[in-house]
Structure 1
Amino acid sequence: MAVPAAASVRDADRYRPPRVTGLVDLLDRQVRDRPYARALVVTGERVQLSYRALASLADEVAARLGGAGLGRGDAVGLICANTAEFVVALLGAARAGLVSAPLDPALPASQLSSRLTALGARAVLLDASASGRDVMLPVPAWSLRVDVSGAGAGAGAGAAVLELEPGVCDSAQVQGAALELSERDALVLFTAGTTDRAKMVPLTHANVAASLRTICATYELGPEDATVAVMPFFHGHGLFAALLSSLASGGCVLLPERGRFSAGTFWDDMRAVDATWFTAVPAIHEILLERSEREYPGPQAPPLKFVRSCSAPLNTATQRALERTFGAPLLSAYGMTESSHQATSEPLPQRGALRQGSVGRPTGVAVRVVDRGGRSCPAGVEGEVWVQGPTVARGYLADGDESARTFVDGWLRTGDLGALDEDGYLSLTGRIKNLINRGGEKISPEHVEDILAGCPGVAEAAVFAVPDAVYGQRVGAAVVVREPDGAGREEILRYCRDHLAAFEVPDRLDLVAALPYTAKGGLDRKAVQARYAS
């Protein structure tokens, strides 16, 4: 069953998404129509930067980069937290015709180096958090500092200081991935997974523009909206859904102090910017919910239009609790790096019904659910989720074999299992590669985790395969309980027996203090397997 892109947005005449063609003209309309409107709120002092000031800073950096020996289509790395430096570097590089590759500043030096080398980057831009590290990189590292000390509440002036070392990486030495890039490309994002072998996803300016138009249209974002950057910008979730969609629609983004999410200052940040929405992964939603009794400001909190969740499954119990606490609908979305982030989302309440357990309808793409033979499954039948549309990347850089396996006849094979209902709403049931094979019975760890999370007293859970000589694999679970009313092991197992098939009930259940998470905020299944499965 396939759902066409046209089904993703209804009553389109009531909202006009921004007319952007990519990162290069992302700010242009706002600079023309609303030059002194706030674009960013930055630093611990919460200084406002206007659209005019942000564009001026980006142009300043673009001129410096263009005069430093870089050619159009060259790749540069960005190693920055969620800071003004990241935003200025990204937009400045785009205006200079360069391709930006954001990297996680927390990666070890060896992994940063291997990614820059695989990409064929000719230089890397660093903010203060990264430039202070004693790290040897294979390309020239240029420090960027954005000085907002002269910014006023209205005009929002500022200055960019880019410290260029002599020369850039010799273009004759650039190999592999960089040879596949051109000035049509805007970004190269690294997929989550095995960090030393992360795949490189090239996204064109057209991919970016299509993604931003559909995200803005889905949530009807406009100049009156504001948000706090919770997710890191080196992944698609924070980059597309929070930062770029806000700037494209004329809204405002607050960048927390030191460029990192802090649960302790989150609600103060939300009030400071009069936020109307925010987006996060389930792990962060759980943290905010856990702390809400003592930290949520109640009537003093800014009224929210919606809250968004993406990048990992959110259990239904948490979703409903968040809606009751924050007084706003929680909209689940689904996306991946290869589709320029968002592929489906639950609609705003005025645009359609919310479906329990669903990640919504397609947004600007077509979605199919197919069986092992590549045939479309009927409504309600589980299969692999495939995505096609203008946001989908052309393949992976320097990895033809993996591209051929993943991108088939214009369709992106996501590796996710799910089903479409009669109205085109998608429900996800797990990852193909995560399935546990217990004596021939295929078990979705995500399904078992969702049941465990519904057990009273359980905060979060991770389910994994335990090797077994008889069955091949058995079901293991690591569970974090809430204190002081946390459930005991036997109580949790009784709950599982009442809500799961007998073969799905964990054969081993460990109570643990915390679970490991990736930098993106999703459950680190490789770490879970290594830590608990032996």
Structure 2
Amino acid sequence: MAVPAAASVRDANRYRPPEVAGLADLLDRQVRERPSAGALVVTGERVQLSYRALAALADDVAARLGDAGLRPGDAVGLVCANTAEFVAGLLGAARAGLVTAPLDPALPEAQLAARVAGLGARAVMCDTTVSGALVLPVPVWPLRVDVSGAAGTATVVLNASACGEHQGTPASAELSERDALVLFTAGTTARAKMVPLTHANVAASVRNICSGYELGPEDATVAVMPFFHGHGLFAALLSSLASGGCVLLPERGRFSAGTFWDDMRAAGATWFTAVPAIHEILLERSERDHPGPQATPLKFVRSCSAPLNTATQRALERTFGAPLLSAYGMTESSHQATSEPLPQRGALRQGSAGRPTGVVVRIVDGSGRPCPAGVEGEVWVQGPTVARGYLDDGEESARTFVGGWLRTGDLGALDEDGYLSLTGRIKNLINRGGEKISPEHVEDVLAGCPGVADAAVFAVPDAVYGQRVGAAVVVRAGEGAGREEILRYCRDRLAPFEVPDRLEVVTALPYTAKGGLDRKAVQARYAP
């Protein structure tokens, strides 16, 4: 496939992979070699903080946490948007030997409290915008970073009072100084699983991402995805800092399509990563927002966390003038497991999630036997980024982690060259009279229909077939794609049993905080 040339192709032989052992030493090389270089761009005034300044913030946080009575291996929560407070809190906790659990600030207080209690966190650090109203079962410590625009300096304010006696939990008893993070999988309070990631897991993930995209000190990005999920945390923040790059944190710590391209210009960004839903928003607004030839040249654009349909991929590459690289991973694999390579390193393949990056990927049939090339089965992953299991959930750990392999629950196939193609989630399959249908495949076809902006496919209960195929689609304003036109498009491209039996045109579809389609909400809203 022909793709636009990358903005600047460096000599791969000169590339220096990051030297990191985990979160605690993530900044060390840059502080030694390039202390004045920009690490973050923060606040609405877009003030640059150097690596020296960021390391000083982290050291200050570490000292205050130690003074509060926290000891290596203790868990702390971190409730912040994509702000300097998040970065200083995360790296400071790591330097104090603590295990950090990033939490979504948008979660209801009851869910935050349940996650903090289940983990056995000793305290929670919060951005001052939310800490005042937050009531949790452990001390809540307001965290603020005061930035001087004139000098590019910053100071930490952390009101960390002395901790009381530790009331441990089965989850906290499984943690140690080797652990860096606990990330929560998507799900309700009752179902969200706790994934412990060691410093070795973090270091391996960061090295794989940096090496795959050849990230270095000349690279910069804008933080689009939230840091409380692996996508934003590993791909945008940690990999950039480990490689000596710079990360712009948008004003108020949240993605804004209206300021995105101004942020990219201000950062001198060479790449960015996002979920397909955000790529769709940027593409839809590109005619009025994208600077065109005046835009800073991009080395690549990355997409992860949900399938990206091929029509959108081609349109993005034409509009942004850079290759669109799809990646695949999950929380249990410390984010990335596969990615399409940079153009100078290999071919880009439409519909592919790329090749393994520092891990081994196997396709396995229902009996646990490896499948030959081209044959669909469950995707299994093994390697240094894979977590050891779930905290306080031996039963689910035994099902998901088998003999050192992570059973992802995803369906896919490997081709002769080791490229992975994903076909859906096992649990999402629709069983129509014995025919197994991938909703993701039908959604990909629907998304290619002229006038269709978004699509969700779901199972509709049926007395005869067990399940039928339902679909909800969002149509672009003014393009007039009607129900019969969309179904006709599907009949030309899908097997008869895959064509939606029920199709509704809707104004919008529900999405999760991570940016993926909220299938539970879709099912509840449109299937009855």
Counterpart amino acid of residue 149 in structure 1: S
Q: Does 1:281 align with 2:266?
A: no
Contact 1:306 1:331 in 2 (8 A): yes
Counterpart amino acid of residue 170 in structure 1: E
> Which whole-Å deviations, capped at 9, do the CAs of 1:429-470 have from their partners, x for residues lacking one?
000000000011000000000000000100010000001111
Counterpart amino acid of residue 127 in structure 1: D
Counterpart amino acid of residue 530 in structure 1: A
Return the offset for 1:168. 2.0
Q: Match for residue 105 of structure 1?
A: 105
Q: Does 1:49 align with 2:49?
A: yes
Return the offset for 1:151. 5.5
Q: Match for residue 220 of structure 1?
A: 214
Q: Secondary structure at the match of 1:460?
A: strand
Return the offset for 1:174. 1.3
What is the aligned counterpart of 1:209 among 194, 203, 207?
203
Contact 2:47 2:149 in 1 (8 A): no
Q: Match for residue 80 of structure 1?
A: 80
Distance 2:195 2:462 in 1: 37
Q: After the TM superposition, which parts of structure 1 deviate over 4 Å for at least 4 consecutive aligned residues?
A: 11-14
Q: Does 1:183 align with 2:183?
A: no
Q: Does 1:381 align with 2:375?
A: yes
Counterpart amino acid of residue 424 in structure 2: G
Distance 1:524 1:193 in 2: 10
Q: Match for residue 329 of structure 1?
A: 323
Distance 2:389 2:69 in 1: 29
Q: Secondary structure at the match of 2:500?
A: coil
Counterpart amino acid of residue 158 in structure 1: A
What is the aligned counterpart of 1:161 among 157, 162, 182?
157
Contact 2:134 2:140 in 1 (8 A): no
Contact 2:355 2:420 in 1 (8 A): yes
Q: Match for residue 235 of structure 2?
A: 241
Return the offset for 1:13. 4.4
Distance 1:150 1:286 in 2: 34
Distance 2:469 2:292 in 1: 41
State the identity as a percent: 84
Counterpart amino acid of residue 266 in structure 2: A
Q: Match for residue 22 of structure 2?
A: 22
Return the offset for 1:193. 2.2
Q: Match for residue 224 of structure 2?
A: 230
What pairs with 1:467-486 in structure 2 (closer than 5 Å)? Answer: 467-486=461-480
Return the offset for 1:225. 0.3
Return the offset for 1:157. 1.7
Q: Match for residue 8 of structure 2?
A: none
Q: Match for residue 6 of structure 1?
A: none
Q: Secondary structure at the match of 2:454?
A: strand
> Which whole-Å deviations, capped at 9, do the CAs of 1:185-206 have from their partners, x for residues lacking one?
0000000123432000000000
Contact 2:217 2:245 in 1 (8 A): yes
> Which whole-Å deviations, capped at 9, do the CAs of 1:41-60 have from their partners, x for residues lacking one?
00100011000000000000
Distance 1:220 1:532 in 2: 44
Q: Secondary structure at the match of 1:19?
A: coil
> Which whole-Å deviations, capped at 9, do the CAs of 1:36-85 have from their partners, x for residues lacking one?
00000001000110000000000001000011011110000000000000
Return the offset for 1:365. 0.1
What pairs with 1:301-316 in structure 2 (closer than 5 Å)? Answer: 301-316=295-310
Aligned residue pairs, count: 518
Q: Does 1:357 align with 2:348?
A: no
Contact 1:24 1:95 in 2 (8 A): yes
Q: Does 1:70 align with 2:64?
A: no
Contact 1:357 1:427 in 2 (8 A): yes
Distance 1:442 1:232 in 2: 34
Q: Does 1:407 align with 2:406?
A: no
Residues 143-152 or 417-426, more deviating: 143-152
Contact 1:151 1:158 in 2 (8 A): no
Return the offset for 1:242. 0.1
Contact 2:182 2:195 in 1 (8 A): yes
Q: Secondary structure at the match of 2:39?
A: strand
Distance 1:14 1:500 in 2: 48
Q: Match for residue 453 of structure 2?
A: 459
Counterpart amino acid of residue 525 in structure 1: R
Contact 1:49 1:151 in 2 (8 A): no
Q: Match for residue 508 of structure 2?
A: 514
Contact 1:81 1:129 in 2 (8 A): no
Return the offset for 1:486. 3.3
Superposed CA RMSD in Å reads: 1.0
Distance 2:318 2:149 in 1: 42
Q: Match for residue 372 of structure 1?
A: 366
Q: Secondary structure at the match of 2:202?
A: helix
Counterpart amino acid of residue 134 in structure 2: V
> Which whole-Å deviations, capped at 9, do the CAs of 1:469-503 have from their partners, x for residues lacking one?
11111000000011101310000000010000000
Q: Does 1:503 align with 2:525?
A: no
Contact 1:125 1:142 in 2 (8 A): yes
Distance 2:123 2:494 in 1: 53
Q: Match for residue 60 of structure 2?
A: 60
Q: Match for residue 165 of structure 2?
A: 170
Provide closer, same or farther for how the CA distance between residues 12 and 210 of structure 1 changes in structure 2, counting only shifts above 3 A: farther
What is the aligned counterpart of 2:338 among 344, 351, 355?
344
Counterpart amino acid of residue 122 in structure 1: R
Q: Secondary structure at the match of 1:495?
A: helix
Q: Match for residue 257 of structure 1?
A: 251
Counterpart amino acid of residue 162 in structure 2: G
Counterpart amino acid of residue 135 in structure 1: L
Distance 2:323 2:148 in 1: 38
Using structure 2 for the length normalisation, give the TM-score: 0.97
Structure 1 stretches of 5 or more lacking a match?
Answer: 1-10
Distance 2:149 2:510 in 1: 42
Return the offset for 1:506. 0.3
> Which whole-Å deviations, capped at 9, do the CAs of 1:185-234 have from their partners, x for residues lacking one?
00000001234320000000000000000000000000000000000000
> Which whole-Å deviations, capped at 9, do the CAs of 1:95-124 have from their partners, x for residues lacking one?
000000000000000000000001000000
Q: Does 1:299 align with 2:293?
A: yes
Counterpart amino acid of residue 79 in structure 2: I
Distance 1:420 1:264 in 2: 39
Distance 2:346 2:201 in 1: 26
Distance 2:150 2:114 in 1: 38
Provide closer, same or farther for how the CA distance between residues 324 and 150 of structure 1 changes in structure 2, counting only shifts above 3 A: closer
